[in-house]
């Protein structure tokens, strides 16, 4: 296993448990359009893409109005729902020696507000959210954009750490190492990722295990 040169992270459900806040805001929008609301479990199952990629199917020609309401609701509520994923603090502490960034499909302004609220601004060289690049994940554009901001070239020594098949697809398309944390149960598990051409290059069972792996590196390869 080659020592990474840079480590990029997904945000929601990799570092932050965002499902309660996402589901709460989305349900405001669904209710406003007379659609059935979703449980947190349903949100976990159904949400795969960014707003600009998923809302046209959900809300048709009104999708931009729906997106505006979602952004307004999230802006009002999202900081009330922030919670760290288990092991996230340890993983970030262990990753501190490497250049790093966050690449998320959360709205960029909300992402930056959450990072600041947690006091984590100094931990990342770039914060790239939905709408900040020419396309959102699973397109590689946001990863390339983040790497440009931190002055690192794409390649196998760049790790992109995430929890979904979309994350793995984006990392692979960007020419980087796709690192899956967790079991991808909301995507149907590892076998489903394999079938969807979204298999990780490296699978780590938890953020805590990632912290142990990174903390054990003193240089060279292992």
Query: Does 116 share its domain with 49?
Result: no
Query: Does 118 share its domain with 70?
Result: no
The answer to whether residue 121 is domain-embedded is yes
Last residue of a domain, one of 50, 81, 112: 81
Secondary structure of residue 153 in the 3-state scheme: coil
Last residue of a domain, one of 55, 81, 107: 81
Q: What is the phi/psi pair of residue 74, to 5°?
A: -60, -40
The answer to whether residue 1 is domain-embedded is no
pLDDT at position 78? 86
pLDDT at position 64? 97
Q: Between the CA atoms of 10, 65, 31 and 70, what dihedral angle is there, to the nearest 10 degrees? A: 30
- Structure letter (DSSP) for residue 1: -
Query: Does 65 share its domain with 29?
Result: yes
DSSP codes of every residue in 178-190: EEEES--GGGT-H
Last residue of a domain, one of 48, 81, 114: 81
Query: Does 132 share its domain with 195?
Result: yes
Query: Does 179 share its domain with 131?
Result: yes
CA 216/CA 139 separation, integer angstroms: 32
pLDDT at position 222? 39
User: Side by side, which strands form the sheet with 158-162?
Assistant: 127-130, 100-107, 6-9, 158-162, 177-181, 202-204
The answer to whether residue 29 is domain-embedded is yes
The answer to whether residue 69 is domain-embedded is yes
**What CATH number did the domain enclosing 100 receive?**
3.40.50.1000
CB 7 within 8 A of CB 143: no
What are 100's strand-pairing partners?
A: 7
Which residues lie closer than 8 Å to 203 by C-beta, 6 or more apart?
179, 180, 190
Task: Quote the number of domains for the chain.
Answer: 2
The answer to whether residue 222 is domain-embedded is no
What angle is formed at CA 57 by the lines to CA 26 and CA 11, rounded to 5 degrees? 50
Per-residue pLDDT of the chain (222 residues; tens, 9 = 90+): 889 999 999 999 999 987 888 899 999 999 999 999 999 989 878 887 789 899 999 999 999 999 999 999 988 988 988 899 999 999 999 999 999 999 999 999 999 999 999 999 999 999 999 999 999 999 999 999 999 999 999 999 999 999 999 999 999 999 999 999 999 988 889 999 999 989 999 999 999 999 999 999 844 343
Quickly tell me which residue has 């939905």 as its tokens.
130
Query: What's the pTM value of the predicted model, to 2 decimals?
Result: 0.84
Query: Does 27 share its domain with 89?
Result: no
Q: Write down the H helix ranges in the chain.
A: 19-32, 40-46, 51-59, 63-77, 88-95, 108-117, 141-150, 165-173, 190-195, 207-215
Secondary structure of residue 25 in the 3-state scheme: helix
CA 47/CA 170 separation, integer angstroms: 16
- Structure letter (DSSP) for residue 16: B
Domain containing residue 76? 19-81
**What CATH number did the domain enclosing 41 receive?**
1.10.150
The burial of 159, by beta-carbon neighbours within 10 Å (0-12 exposed, 13-18 middle, 19 or more buried), is given as buried
């Amino acid at each position: 296993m080659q020592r990474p040169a840079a480590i990029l992270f997904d945000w929601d459900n990799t570092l932050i448990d965002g499902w309660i806040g996402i589901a709460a805001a989305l349900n405001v929008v669904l209710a406003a359009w007379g659609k059935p609301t979703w449980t947190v479990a349903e949100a976990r199952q159904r949400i795969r893409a960014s707003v600009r990629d998923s809302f046209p199917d959900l809300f048709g020609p009104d999708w931009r109005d729906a997106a505006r309401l979602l952004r307004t609701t999230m802006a009002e509520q999202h900081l009330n729902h922030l919670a760290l994923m288990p092991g996230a603090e340890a993983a970030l502490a262990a990753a501190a020696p490497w250049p790093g960034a966050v690449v998320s499909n959360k709205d960029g302004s909300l992402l930056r507000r959450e990072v600041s609220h947690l006091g984590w601004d100094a931990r990342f060289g770039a914060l790239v959210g939905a709408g900040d690049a020419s396309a959102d994940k699973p397109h590689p554009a946001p990863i390339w954009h983040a790497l440009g901001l931190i002055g690192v070239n794409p390649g196998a020594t760049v790790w992109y750490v995430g929890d979904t098949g979309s994350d793995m697809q984006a990392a692979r398309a960007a020419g980087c190492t796709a690192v899956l944390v967790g079991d991808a149960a909301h995507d149907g598990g590892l076998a489903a990722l394999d079938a969807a051409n979204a298999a990780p290059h490296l699978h780590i069972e938890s953020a805590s295990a990632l912290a142990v792996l990174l903390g054990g590196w003193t240089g060279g390869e292992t």
